[in-house]
Amino acid sequence: MATGEWELREEDDYEYEYEFDLDNPFTSPADEPIASLLDAEGHHAPSVSAAASAARRDAAAFISKVRFGGELAVHPRVAYLALNYVDRFLSKRQLLCEQQPWAPRLLAISCLSLASKMQRVAAVSIADIQRDEEFMFDEASVRRMERVVVGALEWRTRSVTPLAFLGFFLSACYPAPSHPTQVAAVKARAVDLLVRAQPEVKMAEFPPSVTAAAALLAAAGEVAAANLQAFQAGVAACPFVNSDKLRECGEVLAAACGVGPVRAAASADTPVTVLGHHRSASSASESDWTVGSAANGGGGEAKKRCMGPPSHWG
């Protein structure tokens, strides 16, 4: 099977370090981990045009089928990382689906195989995930495509995704006293929302940091509603979180996951959405849009933690 410009010589073999934690993609601790993540997220975010492409749609459909295919089901984080690789690859390269209709499936299979290696889970069986297909790619074809993917990613296989920001927001912004069981439940629900929302094309419009914040606020609204307002204040205190993008991302995420807007009351007459934006009936100016205002308290200490390098967060 010819692959045109993808064809690589056998001697062009590649080596890269397997295994990394999606929650902590760096190989060594950073002095200012949030600054390092923010610097890296722009290099790892997919383009909106790539996310809207026919190739991405077909590749995402195949990954979803494997993800939820009963006995073929793969680990959620493997599927999540695989689709991230697809998005990043398509942001660099184009697939000519009309001439090569098989290309998106080969890309999806190769990204699933690569992601399973990077996550150190049970290897994806190339034969099993293709059992219902009319034709199958052999191991050599998948291996060659893996090399093409890694090259297109410029060897940056340690993707910076929204999962990498969860620890920061929970440590720097979640109100004290933080109960480990509750925090773990909020994080688990946020991960579930992120995995479910990832195929939605519009999610590509938002940087990973904003997506992580939106997922955590939505999760807190479901799991720990009593702490939602203070958590909103903490997130709002982070100077790198754009309030408009946060609101928009939360709306897209809620629609993609089929969940309703989560609300918490700042007062009897001032509703606060899950994204923390409240607006009085008498004011429509941008300056009146706040999250956790001074009247609430709750945001000051979080702002100090967000403005400086955090000393403790995982």
Token pair, residue 110, equals 């190769």
Per-chain mean pLDDT for the chain: 76
- Return the higher-pLDDT residue of 259 and 27: 259
Q: What SS3 class is residue 175?
A: coil
For domain 34-153, say whether CATH 1.10.472.10 is its number: yes
Residue 310: what pLDDT?
Answer: 39
Give the start-to-end residue ranges of the domains of the chain.
34-153, 162-257
Residue 226: what pLDDT?
Answer: 92
What pLDDT digit, counting tens, does each position of 145-178 carry? 999 999 999 888 888 899 999 999 999 899 887 7
Whether 162-257 and 34-153 are alike in CATH topology: the answer is yes
Q: Helices H, strands E: what count in the chain?
A: 12, 2
Fold exhibited by the domain 162-257 = Cyclin A; domain 1 (1.10.472)
Confidence check: pLDDT of 301 > 80:
no
CA distance 253 to 273: 14
Residue 310 has a CB neighbour count (10 Å cut-off) of: 15
